[in-house]
Amino acid sequence: MIIFYVLAALLILTSLMVVFQRNVVHCAMALVAALFLIAILFVTLQAPMVGVLQILVYAGAIMVLFLFVIMLLNPTSLEPRRALSWGFGTVVALLLAGALAALVSHDEAPADPFAATELFGAPESLAKSLFTDFVLPFEIASVLLLIAIVGAVVLAKREHN
């Protein structure tokens, strides 16, 4: 119970750091922390397989890629804080958050969460769903990743002229 509120507070703090820090590398590290916290939230929500995949894929690979690109492009200048647009953006965000929160709050929420079996969220159930019901999206996702690899290599190659 308390774990959720602590994690939620930390998560909002790190997300704000991602958006409002001026040094890009600090933003990236704050995002890594946010992803790690979300993975912990997944584990508390009885999705351990997805949680560990989040750390493996998102925090462990995608963010390393981000850091590589940041180090490659070497941005040494700090972005200036523009009070007007940042203040305006914050107000819009608060309005958006308020609207979304009002939309998702309803009194007739399911009071008792589904009593999960032991295999809920376990690798066996996820694998079973992936290989029987969702095998076509699975194969398409692998082709998509191949296309992304080829596209990235082609885009990022230096031109030899």
Residues 39-78 that bind other proteins (CB under 8 A): 41-42, 45-50, 52-62, 64-73, 75
The residue type at 11: L
Which of 9, 14, 66 has the alpha carbon at shortest distance from 36?
14
Query: What whole-number distance in Å separates Cα of residue 14 and Cα of residue 4?
Result: 15
Q: Which of 110, 136, 160, 161 binds other proteins (CB under 8 A)?
A: 110
Please, which of residues 73-102 interact with other proteins by CB under 8 A?
73, 75, 79, 82, 85-86, 88-90, 92-94, 96-97, 100-101
Please state the closest distance from residue 135 (CB atom) to other proteins, in A: 11
Q: Where are the alpha helices (DSSP H) in the chain?
A: 2-20, 24-44, 48-53, 63-73, 83-104, 123-132, 135-156
Tell me: does residue 123 bind other proteins (CB under 8 A).
Answer: yes
Which of 66, 18, 11 has the alpha carbon at shortest distance from 36?
11
Query: What whole-number distance in Å separates Cα of residue 44 and Cα of residue 91?
Result: 32
Please state the closest distance from residue 23 (CB atom) to other proteins, in A: 7
Q: Which of 6, 15, 139, 161 binds other proteins (CB under 8 A)?
A: 15
Q: Which of 6, 10, 40, 120 binds other proteins (CB under 8 A)?
A: 120
Q: Note the residue count of the chain.
A: 161
By beta-carbon proximity to other proteins, the closer residue of 153 and 160 is 153
